[in-house]
Structure 1
Amino acid sequence: MSARLHLVRHGQTPSNVAGALDTALPGAPLTDLGRDQARTVGAELAASDIAPSVILSSEAARARETAGLIADATGLRTQAVPGMYEVQAGRFEMRTGNEALLAYNRLVRDWLEDGVLTSSLPGGESALAVQERAMPVVSELRESHLDNGTDVVLVVHGTLMRMIAVFAGAVPSQWALVNRIPNCGVIELAPDGGGWSCERWGDHLGRPPF
């Protein structure tokens, strides 16, 4: 099996429980359940046949903590990667309730269903801005690790993970819109010629049924 990019969503946080739009750095830590989720995915990765050299994460506290618990299970070191934070909520940051959640979800729908990549929330960012900061990191990881046969585990955030998969051309945008990723869910992307293929999406093992 060729080397893959394993995108892992962080474990549960108090903000997840409260339904708060927690997107700015450093963000909330994990809950006890979130730590258990991270240990579980760490054990799964340790028992697999993948061969990463480091567990990477975004700079958010919840991603760093998740990466640390995965590293404990795999015996690897961790490293935070700039620019891989969650899609920014702007003036809705840390807001709860229907207005904030609907606004954020509507933004993602504008991007993935309607293709309006310039849309953003007030004080937030557009899909084009997300693409500009995230995809060079993905390309660099491919060149420096995957192309040399080394898997990459990167702990990041749910909406960012879905957008990366779409930007990479690995999944249809409608699939990414409808199929969200749970805490500590995994998306696996594999180099496929000059592009990428999706080999796992959450509980869908193997190529998802697009």
Structure 2
Amino acid sequence: MSARLHLVRHGQTPSNVAGALDTALPGAPLTELGREQATLVGQELAGSGISPTVVMSSEAARARETAGLVATEMGLPTQAVPGVYEVQAGRYEMQTGVEAMLAYNRLMRDWLEAGDLTASLPDGESALDVQDRTMPLVAELRESYLDNGIDVVLVVHGAVMRMMAVFAGAAPSQWALDNHIANCGVIELAPDGGGWSCERWGDHLGRPAF
């Protein structure tokens, strides 16, 4: 089996519990349940036969903490990398009301259903901004690790990891919109010719039937 990119969503945080749009760095730490989730996904990855050399993460506190717990189970070091933080909520940052959540969800719908990659929240970012900050890293990881037979584990965030799969051409936009990723869920991407294929999406083990 060829080396793959394993995108892992961080574990549960107090902001997740409160329904807060916590997207700015450094963000909240994990809850006790979040730490348990991270340990469990670390055990799963350790037993899966993959061969990473490091567990990478976004610079957010919750991603770093998740990566540390995953790395402990895999006997690996960790490395935080820039550019893969969550899709920014702008003026809605840390808001918990219905208005804020609807606005964030509407933004994702504009991107993934309407195809308006220039849409953004006030003081937020567009899908093109997200693409510009995430996909150079994906290309670098492919060249430096996957093309040399080394798996990559990268702990990131729910919205941004779905967008990365779409940007890579590995998953349809509507699928990414409709199928959220739970805390410590995994999207698995494999090099496929000059592009990528999706080999796992959350609980959809094996290639999803798009």
In which range does the TM-score fall when normalised by the shorter chain? over 0.9
Following the alignment from structure 1 to structure 2, what is the Cα–Cα distance between the partners of residues 115 and 207?
Answer: 24
Residue aligning to 2:59: 59
CA distance in 2, matches of 1:198, 1:18: 31
SS at match of 1:49: coil
Q: Distance in 2 between matches of 1:153 and 1:101?
A: 29
- In structure 1, distance between residues paired with 2:199 and 2:93: 33
Partner SS state of residue 88, structure 1: coil
CA distance in 2, matches of 1:200, 1:84: 20
Please, which runs of 5 or more residues in structure 2 have no aligned partner?
none
Question: Structure 1 residue 209: deviation in Å?
Answer: 1.1
Q: Work out whether 1:150 is the aligned partner of 2:150.
A: yes
Map of 1:165 onto structure 2: 165
Q: Which residue of 2 aligns with 1:201?
A: 201
CA deviations on 1:138-165 (whole Å, 9 max, x unpaired) are 0000000000000000000000000000
Please list every run of 5 or more consecutive structure 1 residues that lacks an aligned counterpart in the other structure. Answer: none
CA RMSD in angstroms comes to 0.3
Looking at structure 2, the residues matched to 74 and 165 of structure 1 have their Cα atoms a distance apart, in angstroms, of: 25
Q: Distance in 2 between matches of 1:30 and 1:124?
A: 24
Letter paired with 2:72:
D
Identify the residue that residue 30 of structure 2 maps to in structure 1. Answer: 30
* Paired position in structure 1 for 2:80: 80
Q: Deviations over 1:42-100 (max 9, x none)?
A: 00011111000000000000000000000110000000000110000000000001000
Structure 1 counterpart of 2:102:
102
Provide the C-alpha distance between the structure 1 equivalents of 2:89 and 2:50, rounded to a whole number of angstroms: 34
Counterpart for residue 2 of structure 1: 2
Identity of aligned residues (%): 80
In structure 2, distance between residues paired with 1:132 and 1:11: 26
Alignment size in residue pairs: 210
Give the TM-score normalised by structure 1.
1.00
Residue identity in the other structure for 1:77: P
The 5 Å alignment of 1:7-22 reads 7-22=7-22
The aligned residue for residue 114 of structure 1 is 114
Moved over 6 A (4+): none
Residue equivalent to 2:179: 179
Secondary structure at 2:83 match in 1: coil
Matched to 2:41, the amino acid is V
d(CA) in 2 for partners of 1:185, 1:48 = 15
SS in 2 for 1:141: helix
| Correspondence 1:131 to 2:152 | no
Residue 50 of structure 2: aligned partner: 50
Using the alignment, how far apart are the partners of 2:204 and 2:98 within structure 1?
Answer: 30
